[in-house]
Structures are given as structure tokens and as C-alpha cells.
Amino acid sequence: MSQRSQQPLEGAAAPAATFEQRLNERRRNTEWKKDPRRIEPAECIGCDSCMRACPPQFSAIYNQGLDVVIVPELCNGCAKCVQACPVDCIYPDAEWQPTQESLWAYVEGQVNFRDQ
């Protein structure tokens, strides 16, 4: 698999431990045992409480248009967002799918903007 693989690499020497590694390699830390979280768009009120609650070392939650989304490769499953959500619309996502390229481009743009 390529370095920018979206699924965990088989036999990878080290887990993607830092935010930058997870962003560059587009894969979850293989040591994380909890499922990433997902937001149910039909239930979300767009208050962004989850975004503010997500620890900065993960930065897994983004606004994508009118929806608030969690990037599963960046989410360690800590549930800080669940605790902050006033409408309980965040769930474990055992069957998560790799993040689409368009969202990765958006996330990279947000990171670059934040770092300026």
C-alpha cells in the first residue's frame, strides 16, 4: 500500500502517533482500540460543541458545508465530543469508511490556514 493509504498498513513499523502523521498518511493509529465516532446529520443541530470539545491533538471534527463531520482516521474514540453534544447525535462507528479525498483536501486547507 502507498504511504497515503487510507487503511492501516500491514506490518507498519510504527503507529501514526502524531496528528501530522495521521494527516499525512491518512490512517488511524493502529494502537487505538476504540471505534471512531460519527455524527448523525439528521439529528445534529450544528452547534459545534463537539468541535470545541475535540482535543487539539486529534482535531477530528470539521464543518463540511452545513454538516459537522468526524474524520475517522483522526478520531481516537475518546468520546469528549459525545459528552459535549446537547442532542446526543454522536455514535461509535465500527463500520467506518475511509475519508473521501475532498474532505482530506478541506482538512489540509483548514490546518494550513490555522498554522498561518
Average pLDDT over all residues of the chain: 88
Quick one: pLDDT at residue 9? 47
CATH label of the domain that carries residue 80: 3.30.70.20
**Do 14 and 31 form a contact (C-beta atoms < 8 A)?**
no
Per-residue model confidence as pLDDT tens digits over 58-73:
999 999 889 999 999 9
Number of domains the chain contains: 1
In this structure, is residue 47 part of a structural domain?
A: yes
Residue 25 lies in a domain: no
- What is the per-residue pLDDT for 20? 92
**Listed residue (24, 29, 30, 28) closest to 4, CA to CA:** 24
Whether 67 maps to a domain, the answer reads yes
Q: In whole angstroms, how far apart are CA 97 and each of 24, 36, 90, 114?
A: 18, 10, 16, 26
Identify whether 75 is part of a domain. Answer: yes
Q: Is residue 69 domain-resident?
A: yes
Domain, as residue range, for 39: 35-94
- Taking 50 as the threshold, does the pLDDT of residue 2 lie above it? no
> pTM of this prediction?
0.84
- Is the confidence at residue 6, as pLDDT, over 50? no
pLDDT at 3 over 80: no
User: Alpha helices of the chain — where are they, by DSSP H?
Assistant: 19-25, 49-53, 80-84, 101-114
In this predicted model, which residue has the larger pLDDT, 41 or 8? 41
* Tens-place pLDDT, residues 84-93: 999 999 999 9
| Domain-located, residue 14 | no
Q: Is residue 23 part of a domain?
A: no
19 assigned to some structural domain: no
